[in-house]
């Protein structure tokens, strides 16, 4: 099921359990996409502050969420 189909299933209230499964799948997809975009932003030279602003969170929040997972990128940048 693609993202559009998942969004449709998530907003359909005729079967709450199926809707919740779709919401969970969307959450997993969004988390994966967010990680990929944060990684690419860091590789492109963006700061944690710029990334946080784009996500609407604090620098501390985004660094806490991704700092350890993406340390290999920030370590090579100096």
| Domain extents in the chain | 3-77
Q: Choose among 69, 1, 77, 73: nearest CA to 31.
A: 69
pLDDT of amino acid 78? 45
pLDDT of amino acid 12? 95
CA distances from 38 to 2, 15, 68 (A): 22, 34, 13
pLDDT range class, residue 73, cuts 50, 70, 90: confident
pLDDT in tens, 12-36: 999 999 999 999 999 999 999 999 9
Token pair, residue 46, equals: 């963006």
Judge whether residue 5 has pLDDT over 80. yes
For the chain, the average pLDDT equals 93
Place of tokens 């709450």: 16
């Amino acid at each position: 099921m693609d993202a559009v189909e998942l969004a449709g299933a998530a907003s359909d209230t005729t079967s709450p359990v199926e809707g919740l499964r779709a919401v969970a799948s969307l959450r997993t997809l969004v988390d994966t996409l967010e990680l990929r975009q944060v990684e690419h932003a860091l590789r492109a030279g963006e700061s944690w502050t710029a990334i946080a602003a784009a996500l609407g969170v604090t620098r501390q929040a985004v660094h806490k969420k991704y700092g350890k997972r993406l340390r290999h990128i920030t370590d090579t940048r100096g």
